[in-house]
Amino acid sequence: MTAANLHRETAVSRLVGELKAMGGLKGRDLANMLGVSPPTVSRWSKGEADPTIDKQTAMAQLRWVAARLADFYEPDEVRLWLQSPHPQLDGLRPYDLIVDGRTAKVLEVIERLDSGVYL
């Protein structure tokens, strides 16, 4: 294997990198959120494999939410916000809702942050 094959940048590898940078997420965080192993996330980040479309969709939605939260928080705070039970989400963790396809509920809470209604 040549050095050029060690890391192939793809849309998915960029997405993983953005989630790590903006969302403060680690490979194991993404693995836990998406129900895959950490080595699988590592292969995605190196461009060696591609996730299924449902995993790609969940990652894209996580990125959208992380980008919105980055307007208010530092990456480590975004990570904590995504992984902590939230009172305005009936005690559920935002990332669980995102992975379950209920990103709109999470974005409603972020819109409240943006409007200053809930701090």
Using one digit for the tens of pLDDT, what is the confidence trace for 20-52? 999 999 999 999 999 999 999 999 999 999 999
d(CA 75, CA 4): 30
Q: What is the pTM of this model?
A: 0.85
Residue 92 pairs in a beta bridge with 86
The predicted pLDDT at position 1 comes to 45
| Residue 74 burial class via C-beta count within 10 angstroms: exposed 0-12, middle 13-18, buried 19 and up | exposed
Q: Left (φ > 0), alpha (ψ -120 to 50) or beta: where does 29 sit?
A: alpha
